[in-house]
Structure formats: structure tokens, C-alpha cells
């Protein structure tokens, strides 16, 4: 077994142990390999953070783990369409520094997914992939932004 597989199996065991001890984080509903035979392809489901315009939504993500993980970050994208300044609406691509230049082998798939959940509540309109959503925040239109997010969450994440 190679080092990448050992690392991913350890992360999976830690996830299972935490779920069994009820230490699972409320936002992260599921994180698991798509197939037992392929540890490089994972899926995740997260709930929209309570008190946010994403509340009530369930957001699905795909995770592609590179063959040199954890030296390189995983590629994580939303499958569920999400309206957010740092997520490309059409593709689900996520603009988050830890998925690019700020990656460290100390990050796990779980901690990376939790950082994405935090990003939902704390958008960075200065580095947008969704310019329309970012412009609402830049103009100070919090109500308009939250209304737009709630509408898209109802349409795409509450099915």
C-alpha cells in the first residue's frame, strides 16, 4: 500500500471514529470515498450553516485526490449549484486559498470541507468567481445578496 492510500485510509478511519463518538461536525453530513476500490475519488455532503442564507440546503461536492496527496491539495467542486462570490455558478469551482497556494499537508479532507463550509458564511468578494454575487456585497447590498442566495438555495439545494 502506498503512502497516499495509507493517509486516506487513516483519514477515513478518523471520520468513522468521530461519527461513532458523535464528534461529527454538524455542517459536514457525509464524507466518504465514492467507491471502496478507488480512494482518490470522494464525495461530500454539507448542510448550509444555520443562520445563513444557505440554511436548509444540502450541498454535494466531489473531491479528486491527487496521486501526490497530501503534498498537493485535492480538487474540490460543488456538484450542487450554489450562489456565492467564490464559487463559479456553472462549474462549482471554488476559489479558496487552501485549495491553491496556501495548501499544507496538515490539512485533511475533513478540515478542507469544513473550511469550505466556513467560506459559505464568510465570502471574499475581492476574489470572485461569481461577479454578480460579489458586486452585491461590494455595493453593500447585504439584503439583495442574501435574497439571491436564499432563492438559489431553495431552487438547487432543497430538493
Q: Which residues are catalytic?
A: 95
Task: Name the β-bridge partners of 43.
Answer: 32, 62
27, with CB counted inside 10 A (0-12, 13-18, 19+), is buried
For helices 109-121 and 3-20, what crossing angle results, to 10°? 60
If residue 42 lies in a helix (H) or strand (E), which one and from where to where? Answer: strand 38-47
Amino acid at each position: 500500500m502506498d503512502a497516499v492510500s495509507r493517509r486516506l485510509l487513516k483519514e477515513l478511519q478518523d471520520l468513522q471514529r468521530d461519527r461513532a463518538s458523535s464528534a461529527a461536525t454538524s455542517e459536514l453530513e457525509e464524507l466518504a470515498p465514492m467507491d471502496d476500490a478507488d480512494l482518490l475519488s470522494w464525495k461530500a455532503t454539507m448542510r448550509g450553516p444555520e443562520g445563513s442564507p444557505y440554511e436548509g440546503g444540502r450541498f454535494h461536492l466531489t473531491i479528486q485526490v491527487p496521486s501526490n496527496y497530501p503534498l498537493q491539495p485535492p480538487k474540490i467542486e460543488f456538484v450542487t449549484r450554489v450562489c456565492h462570490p467564490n464559487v463559479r455558478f456553472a462549474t462549482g469551482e471554488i476559489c479558496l486559498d487552501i485549495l491553491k497556494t496556501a495548501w499544507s499537508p496538515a490539512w485533511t479532507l475533513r478540515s478542507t470541507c469544513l473550511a469550505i463550509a466556513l467560506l459559505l458564511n464568510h465570502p471574499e468578494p475581492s476574489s470572485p468567481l461569481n461577479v454578480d454575487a460579489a458586486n452585491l456585497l461590494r455595493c453593500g447590498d447585504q439584503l439583495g445578496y442574501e435574497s439571491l442566495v436564499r432563492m438559489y438555495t431553495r431552487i438547487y439545494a432543497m430538493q
